Structure 1
Amino acid sequence: MLIRDDEQGMRAALREAEVSAEQNEVPIGCVIVHEGLIVGRGHNQTEGLQDATAHAEIVAIGAASSTLASWRLHECTMYVTLEPCAMCAGAIVLARVGRLVYGAEDPKAGACGSVLDVIHEPRLNHRVEITTGVLADECGAPLKAFFQRKRREAAEKLEPGHA
Structure 2
Amino acid sequence: MHGQYPASEHDYFWMKQAQILAARAAALGEVPIGALVIKENTAVGIGWNRREQAQLVTEHAELMALQDACTNLSSWRLDGCDLYVTLEPCLMCAGAIQQARIRRLIFGASDPKTGAIHSRWHSYDLTGLNHDVLWTAGVLKESCSKQIKDFFYELRQENKRTEQKLGGRGARRRNAKGN
Are 2:159 and 1:145 equivalent residues in the alignment? no
Displacement, 1:119? 2.4
Are 2:74 and 1:69 equivalent residues in the alignment? yes
Are 2:167 and 1:161 equivalent residues in the alignment? yes
Displacement, 1:74? 2.1
**What amino acid maps onto 2:56 in structure 1?**
D
Displacement, 1:30? 0.2
Q: What is the aligned partner in structure 2 of residue 53 from structure 1?
A: 58
Q: How far apart, in 2, do the equivalents of 1:81 and 1:135 lie? A: 8
TM-score normalised by structure 2 residue count: 0.85
1:53-73 CA-to-partner distances (Å, cap 9, x unmatched) read 000000000000111111111
- Identity, % of aligned positions: 44
Q: How far apart, in 1, do the equivalents of 2:139 and 2:117 lie? A: 15
Q: How far apart, in 2, do the equivalents of 1:82 and 1:44 lie? A: 11
Displacement, 1:155? 3.1
Greater helix share, structure number: 2
1:103-130 CA-to-partner distances (Å, cap 9, x unmatched) read 0000111000100112222132110010
1:2-55 CA-to-partner distances (Å, cap 9, x unmatched) read xx7101110110111010011000000000100110000000000111111000
**What amino acid maps onto 1:112 in structure 2?**
I
Q: How far apart, in 2, do the equivalents of 1:140 and 1:7 lie? A: 15
Runs of 5+ in structure 2 lacking a partner? 1-8, 172-179
Determine helix, strand or coil for the equivalent of 1:107. coil
Q: How far apart, in 2, do the equivalents of 1:129 and 1:92 lie? A: 11
Question: Please, which moves more after superposition, 88-97 or 113-122?
Answer: 113-122
Q: How far apart, in 1, do the equivalents of 2:129 and 2:167 lie? A: 55
Aligned match for 1:26, one of 23, 31, 35: 31
**Structure with the greater relative contact order (CA < 8 A, sep ≥ 6): 1 or 2?**
2
Question: Please, which moves more after superposition, 117-126 or 74-83?
Answer: 117-126
Aligned partners of 1:90 and 1:119 also within 8 Å: no
Question: Please, which moves more after superposition, 39-48 or 112-121?
Answer: 112-121
Q: How many residues align?
A: 160
Q: Which has the larger radius of gyration?
A: 2
Are 2:48 and 1:43 equivalent residues in the alignment? yes
**What amino acid maps onto 1:52 in structure 2?**
V
Q: Once superposed, what is the RMSD of the aligned Cα atoms? A: 1.5
**What amino acid maps onto 2:167 in structure 1?**
G
TM-score normalised by structure 1 residue count: 0.93
